[in-house]
């Protein structure tokens, strides 16, 4: 019996072009990106090269002065402080969130669902309400100071509120779920056979963790780092409420330039620099993930 002839492979010209249904599906996404991402970013970029008049208006006259002001030591110090606080927040979130995420991934299905629910419960509450709850806990007459004094750990109230410590606590609490969930997604996909193979080859728990578990969950760590580090740099609500005017970050400076100082060109220049910082951070993480492993 003769076999049926094999049809020739389809060429690029033979492939059917996307129909109206495909365009109907993609048009809303493209319109959303164009309207809420590309156009505002372009306006911000144009404003960063403009000048400010006496009443806070924008003069469309090309100048580099705004970017020269960004290089002022005062603003460079604020950028460095913002990166430091965001970096410390990210490190704490990794240290705290990794064991939690790994435990959830290894738990039974019933317990896993309950633990994931506990992680996501804070999202059901207003962000401001959660921040004010921490203010109530950390203030001098708050719950924490009362507990420490009742246990005779301290002789007087600690000044925790309106300090860098309070800001970092608020940032960690706000962004910890954004670290737990991506790591959980990577840890859930771990193949137990690889971990058992490491034990069979003589690796101890620490060796198996560092050589097998951590590399396999690195995509989740990288995703969590992006979701925590970048928003933490630009956060201004927590620094306003829990840090007062004593702990300004770059988000506070940008907010003040647009709403109080009415210097939109300089605020736009700060925003452009902030976006460049995000792009550099994203590029570094992507290059590390794409690096071939020996």
Distances from the Cα of 180 to the Cα of 87, 173, 225, 267, 293, angstroms: 16, 12, 10, 33, 25
Q: How many CB atoms lie within 10 A of CB 172?
A: 21
pLDDT, tens digit, for every residue of 166-191? 999 999 999 999 999 999 999 998 88
175 occurs within a structural domain: yes
Domain that holds residue 153: 76-290
Residue with more model confidence, 28 or 8: 28
Total domains present in the chain: 1
- Residue 253's pLDDT is 92
230, part of any domain: yes
For residue 159, what is the domain's CATH number? 1.10.3720.10
106 within a domain of the structure (yes/no): yes
Q: Which residue has the tokens 């506070």?
A: 252
> Could you tell me if residue 62 is inside a domain?
no
pLDDT band at residue 46 using 50, 70 and 90 as cut-offs: very high
pLDDT digits (tens, 9 = 90+) for 202-216: 888 888 888 889 999
**Looking at the domain assignment, is residue 15 inside a domain?**
no
pLDDT at 141: 85
Q: Which two tokens stand for residue 203?
A: 């690796």
């Amino acid at each position: 019996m003769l076999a049926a002839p094999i049809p020739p492979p389809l060429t690029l010209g033979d492939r059917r072009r996307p129909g109206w249904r495909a365009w109907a599906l993609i048009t809303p996404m493209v319109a959303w990106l164009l309207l809420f991402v590309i156009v505002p970013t372009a306006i911000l970029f144009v404003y960063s090269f403009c000048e400010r008049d006496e009443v806070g208006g924008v003069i469309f006259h090309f100048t580099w002065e705004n970017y020269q002001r960004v290089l002022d030591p005062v603003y460079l110090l604020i950028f460095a402080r913002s990166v430091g606080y965001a970096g410390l927040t990210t490190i704490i979130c990794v240290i705290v969130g990794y064991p939690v995420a790994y435990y959830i991934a290894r738990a039974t299905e019933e317990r896993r669902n309950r633990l994931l629910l506990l992680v996501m419960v804070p999202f059901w509450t207003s962000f401001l309400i959660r921040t004010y709850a921490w203010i109530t806990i950390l203030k001098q007459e708050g719950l924490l100071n009362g507990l420490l004094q009742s246990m005779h750990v301290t002789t007087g109230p600690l000044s925790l509120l309106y300090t860098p410590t309070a800001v970092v606590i608020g940032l960690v609490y706000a962004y910890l779920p954004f670290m737990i969930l991506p790591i959980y997604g990577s840890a859930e996909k771990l193949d137990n056979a690889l971990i058992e193979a490491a034990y069979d080859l003589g690796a101890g728990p620490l060796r198996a963790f560092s050589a097998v578990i951590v590399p396999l969950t690195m995509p989740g760590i990288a995703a969590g780092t992006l979701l925590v580090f970048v928003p933490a740099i630009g956060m201004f609500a927590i620094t306003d409420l829990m840090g007062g005017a004593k702990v300004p970050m770059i988000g506070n400076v940008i907010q003040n330039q647009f709403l109080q100082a009415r210097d939109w060109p300089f605020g736009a220049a700060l925003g452009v620099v902030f976006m460049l910082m995000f792009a550099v951070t994203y590029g570094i993480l992507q290059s590390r993930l794409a690096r071939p492993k020996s």
